Structure 1
Amino acid sequence: MEFKYIERNPKVLGGKPIFKGTRIPIYLILDYLSAGETIENILENYPQLSKEAILEAIKYASEYVRLEEELIEIPN
């Protein structure tokens, strides 16, 4: 799958996925979302991002997990 707002560049943050044209790692925004931050609050703090870019980050994470062979074990 090709992503419009996400890239991996070995010269930026060690090749971790970032939002294109920034040094903002995808995991940072996903961490904010998982902590209960709203997309609107994130956009206030990171005006260089768009709602579409944040939604694409969620899609990226979903695709990554779907393709992972070994998942993190979650206790019952």
Structure 2
Amino acid sequence: MDWRDHIDSDPNVIGGKVRIKGTRIGVAFLLELFGAGWTQEQVLESYPHLTVEDLQAVFAFASETAEDVRLLPSQRSAA
């Protein structure tokens, strides 16, 4: 799957955030829903204009772009 078929960014829509094409639904928002425990079925029921392919594209995008992220070691002190 090429996520570019489903995801884009427009500076005039939701502040240029990455989104599902033709919608105002941001990729980060959808990832937050999944991170909060939503299922694919719940997302599709709540946002019926989205498709399974749109959601697959979200994860393909996240997977590809996660390769560019580097986290710094935790600064937490041992308690």
What's the TM-score once normalised by structure 1's chain length? 0.84
Q: Count matched residues.
A: 74
Contact 2:3 2:58 in 1 (8 A): no
Give the 3 Å change call, closer, same or farther, for CA 41–13 of structure 1 in structure 2. Answer: same
2:15 counterpart letter in structure 1: G
Which residue pairs with 1:41 in the alignment? 42
1:10-29 correspondence runs (5 A): 10-29=11-30
RMSD, matched Cα: 1.9
Equivalent-residue separation in structure 2 for 1:58 and 1:25 (angstroms): 13
Higher relative contact order (CA 8 A, sep 6+): 2
Which residue pairs with 1:71 in the alignment? 71
Contact 1:65 1:71 in 2 (8 A): no
Larger radius of gyration: 2
Give the 3 Å change call, closer, same or farther, for CA 2–52 of structure 1 in structure 2. Answer: closer
Unaligned runs of 5+ in 1: none
Give the 3 Å change call, closer, same or farther, for CA 10–59 of structure 1 in structure 2. Answer: same
Unaligned runs of 5+ in 2: none
**1:23 offset after TM fit, Å?**
0.5
